[in-house]
Amino acid sequence: MPLNHYVTLGRSGLRVSPFCLGAMTFGEDFGWGSSVEDSQAIIDRYLALGGNFLDTANVYTHGHSEKIIGDHLGRHPSRRERVVIATKFFGNHFPQDPNGGGAGAKSLIAATHESLRRLQTDYIDLLWMHAWDRHTPIEETMRALDDLVRAGKVRYLGFSDTPAWKVAQAQVTAHFRGWTPLVALQIEYSLLERTVEGELIPMARELGLGVTPWSPLKSGALSGKYTRENAGKVKAGRGMWVEGNLNERTYSIVDVLQRVAKELGTTPAQVALAWVQGRPGVSSTIIGARTLEQLENNVGALEVRLTAEQLAALDAVSQPALNFPAGFLQGAPTFMHGGLTVNGVTAPPWPLAPKPDQQRY
């Protein structure tokens, strides 16, 4: 599956590549990342391979990420029209201003106008709420976002890093009030972060939201660079972002990734990316790249085909503990249709089920 085998994002007509190019590493303002020239080269190579989906945020490298995209694509209408540019509001560029960040109407409208200026474009294809703002009524946020869509400044809407119950409230409110609904959900999802399977993934599938996972390699912990054999000997380029995840559970998963990669003649990173992209509900996985080599390696994951046995091994070693009631409900089919198969779900017999000749009250 190459990058130009596009998918529609959630319940929308927006066509995007199966891998989205994340731009958090565009610019060196955070102390790590790609130079302007390297960032532009990565964009060009991604587009040449058939990719069309870029993801950034107003606060990535203090706004430099958006400016790099704007200088390279936004100021050229013929190039800009060929790409799907997604960015986020919420982050605060003005720490002394309580309205400088968040999801209130004043903040998000101002942030969107600033993003449009840096991106040098008249509209944003997909605008994300970067995180949930507990201080702002969701009706205010959704109404302001609808106003931006009606004004032609935004095409599609999505939420990132927000509890499932709040996303559901926002989506249902939008539908009942005739406002623009959400089409996508951006969440952390990887072999090391699967708790989203309890509430967020099922919610997204039910409400028509295409899932775009971020950090599918857990900041590089699943890249294959850090193994049980070299534990403590390889310096992590992103410091605590990686080092805090290097533990026994991670090494157990990496062990399986290495075995599967060897069987397929590929890399652990490509196996980890292929696993995420193949999960139910996932539309387009966000991949980051600081170099052209990393981009090429990551895109190669689209050609990886995992066998049923390999998938089962990866699922088993990364099995998450889900919050109630998600964990409890995994056993519900047993006393709902124990011994039968419904919609492909086969449930073991319920030991307390009444016998054929047993009295039922």
Instruction: Just list the catalytic residues.
Output: 60
Name, in order, each residue with C-beta under 8 angstroms of 233's C-beta and a sequence gap of 6 or more.
none
Least Cα distance to 132 among 106, 107, 160 occurs for: 160
Cβ-contact 14, 84 below 8 angstroms: yes
Cβ-contact 92, 35 below 8 angstroms: no
Cβ-contact 70, 76 below 8 angstroms: no
Structure tokens at 254: 């990496």
308-317 and 268-277 are packed helices; what angle lies between their axes, rounded to 10 degrees?
Answer: 90
Structure tokens at 139: 């009706």
Residue type, 299: V
- Give Cα 204 distance to the centre of its chain: 12
- Give Cα 162 distance to the centre of its chain: 12
3-class DSSP assignment, residue 119: helix
Cβ-contact 128, 135 below 8 angstroms: no
Radius of gyration of the chain (CA): 22
What count of residues does the chain have?
361
Cβ-contact 16, 52 below 8 angstroms: yes
Q: What are phi and psi of 138, to 5 degrees?
A: -65, -25
Least Cα distance to 72 among 21, 146, 13 occurs for: 21
Cβ-contact 142, 173 below 8 angstroms: yes
